[in-house]
Amino acid sequence: MAASARSFRELSLLLALALCSALASSVDGETSRRFWIENDAFWKDGEQFQIVGGDVHYFRIIPEYWKDRLLRAKALGLNTIQTYVPWNLHEPEPRSWEFRGFSDIESYLRLAHELEMLVMLRVGPYICGGNFILC
């Protein structure tokens, strides 16, 4: 396996663990939490659900402003936040992981959870979402 593919797999695993950690408090004692697609509709926890989402990229916002920006998104009617997970931000050098400050995705996910917002993670090695530094 190529080093880059192995590193991406390891980063994906770390992100999955961070996500599980961030959401662990929401599932204690709750067995009814589910999300599925049926009859061309989304269903969440037994009720039909419409995703109203927008992008709020944690790595483009000063962490001290995350809560403000998420609350503003929620005030606009959003119930879901979408964000890229830039691989090269979290692994600036091979096998060197960064999850502090702008890179603290776990805190960002916990905050979104506390504000009762869902998160769609766009995990990938390349995002090229208008930021040449992170491409």
Give me the mean pLDDT over the 56-71 stretch.
96
pLDDT at 25: 45
The 10s digit of each residue's pLDDT in 10-25 is 666 555 555 555 555 4
Is 32 or 24 the better-scoring residue by pLDDT?
Answer: 32
Q: What is the Cα–Cα distance from 24 to 126, expressed in whole angstroms?
A: 28
Q: What is the Cα–Cα distance from 115 to 72, expressed in whole angstroms?
A: 11
Q: How much is the pTM? A: 0.72
Q: What is the Cα–Cα distance from 135 to 56, expressed in whole angstroms?
A: 18
DSSP state of 125: S
Q: What is the Cα–Cα distance from 66 to 59, expressed in whole angstroms?
A: 10
Q: What is the Cα–Cα distance from 42 to 89, expressed in whole angstroms?
A: 32
Q: Cβ distance 104 to 64 under 8 Å?
A: no
The 10s digit of each residue's pLDDT in 89-109 is 888 898 898 999 989 999 999
When the pLDDT of each residue in the chain is averaged and rounded to a whole number, the result is 81
pLDDT at 89: 85
pLDDT at 101: 92
Task: Name the residue among 127, 105, 117 with its Cα closest to residue 52.
Answer: 117
Both structure tokens of 93: 């050098």
